[in-house]
């Protein structure tokens, strides 16, 4: 039996186990997905390798810490964070958050080549999304509460510009895509974007998935914008990890059903 898992702290409410185990069950793969809350990421990786664990996902607070203990691929090195470790040979680090964001937008039939895209937030998720959008051919603007952090990130992303949140109305007036990569709206009825800045020509994606329908997405829909909820990005980063580890095409529909069933159950508690 193959063992995969998740490093983080806390991980008690992670949605990765039901999502990945739905994929194993669907394809008849003899594997299990477990969670770990180590005190030290480096020692955890050494232990996982010694135990023959086949792959690990990584979440807060270890995404940057593990860079010192794996060989990151070019994208993970640019983003400065790893969320997937492959133990086939020497441990290698990857960032599937970037691909997850792109695949979520592509599923919504969003063309990114030449599009004007704004990323709200310059933290870990914002970095992944900004690099991913730029690599897909979009012209990227980053808006952040601390504008200096937005400018620092923009200096690393080809062709990007950095701004404070007060610039959002101007940035979104000409944008086709906006992604909230902050935690604003997570289990609270707030939005990082003023509703008057939203319009019908926008595609609005929220990386927040608890709740599935955030205030940002409600206000965007009210103004005629297309919306993409955060569970799609979460799903596709998991799909990318699964496919990297197993070499098999991920059963996306069963994984999505397991993910949304769990989210709906959480919301009813």
- Could you give all domains of the chain from N- to C-terminal order, each with its CATH number? 2-94+232-267 (3.40.50.10860), 99-228 (3.40.50.720)
What percentage of the chain has pLDDT greater than the value 70? 99
- What would the pLDDT profile of 83-136 be if each residue is shown by its tens digit? 999 999 999 999 999 999 999 999 999 999 999 999 999 999 999 999 999 999
Distance CA(159)–CA(155), nearest Å, equals: 8
How much is the pTM? 0.95
Q: Which of 20, 63, 163, 215 is catalytic?
A: 63
SS3 181: coil
- What would the pLDDT profile of 72-83 be if each residue is shown by its tens digit? 999 999 999 999
Distance CA(177)–CA(229), nearest Å, equals: 13
Query: Within a 10 A sphere around the Cβ of 80, how many other Cβ atoms?
Result: 16
Per the CB < 8 A criterion, the answer to whether 219 and 240 are in contact is no
- What would the pLDDT profile of 156-167 be if each residue is shown by its tens digit? 999 999 999 999
Question: What pLDDT score was predicted for residue 214?
Answer: 97
153 is catalytic: no
Mean pLDDT of 162-175: 98
Q: What is the mean pLDDT of the chain?
A: 96
Residue 211 banded pLDDT, cuts 50, 70, 90:
very high
Q: Strand 203-206: give its sheet, edge to edge.
A: 161-164, 139-144, 116-120, 177-180, 203-206, 226-228
Query: Across the chain, where does the E strand assignment appear?
Result: 2-7, 31-36, 55-58, 71-72, 84-86, 92-94, 116-120, 139-144, 161-164, 177-180, 203-206, 226-228
Question: What pLDDT score was predicted for residue 264?
Answer: 87
Question: What pLDDT score was predicted for residue 187?
Answer: 81
Pairing of strands 139-144, 55-58: unpaired
Residue 267 banded pLDDT, cuts 50, 70, 90:
low
Classify residue 66 as exposed, middle or buried by CB count within 10 Å of its CB (0-12, 13-18, 19+). Answer: buried
């Amino acid at each position: 039996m193959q063992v995969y898992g998740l490093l983080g702290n806390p991980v008690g409410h992670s949605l990765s186990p039901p999502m990945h185990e739905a994929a194993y069950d669907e394809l008849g793969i003899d594997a299990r997905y477990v969670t770990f809350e180590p005190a030290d990421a480096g020692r955890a990786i050494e232990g996982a390798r010694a135990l023959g664990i086949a792959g690990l996902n990584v979440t807060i607070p270890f995404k940057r810490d593990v860079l010192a203990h794996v060989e990151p691929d070019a994208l993970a090195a640019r983003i400065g964070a790893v969320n997937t470790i492959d133990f086939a040979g020497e441990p290698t680090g990857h960032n599937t958050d970037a691909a997850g964001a792109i695949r979520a937008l592509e599923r919504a039939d969003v063309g990114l080549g030449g599009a004007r895209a704004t990323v709200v937030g310059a933290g870990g998720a914002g970095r992944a999304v900004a690099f991913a959008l730029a690599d897909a051919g979009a012209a990227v603007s980053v808006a952040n509460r601390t504008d200096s952090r937005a400018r620092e990130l923009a200096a690393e992303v080809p062709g990007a510009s950095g701004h404070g949140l007060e610039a959002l109305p101007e940035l979104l007036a000409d944008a086709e895509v906006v992604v909230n990569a902050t935690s604003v709206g997570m289990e609270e009825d707030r939005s990082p974007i003023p509703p008057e800045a939203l319009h019908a020509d926008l595609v609005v994606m929220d990386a927040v998935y608890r709740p599935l329908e955030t205030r940002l997405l409600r206000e965007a829909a009210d103004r005629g914008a297309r919306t993409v909820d955060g569970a799609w990005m979460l799903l596709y980063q998991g799909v990318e990890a699964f496919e990297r580890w197993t070499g098999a095409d991920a059963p996306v529909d069963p994984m999505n059903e397991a993910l949304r069933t769990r989210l709906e159950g959480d919301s009813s508690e």
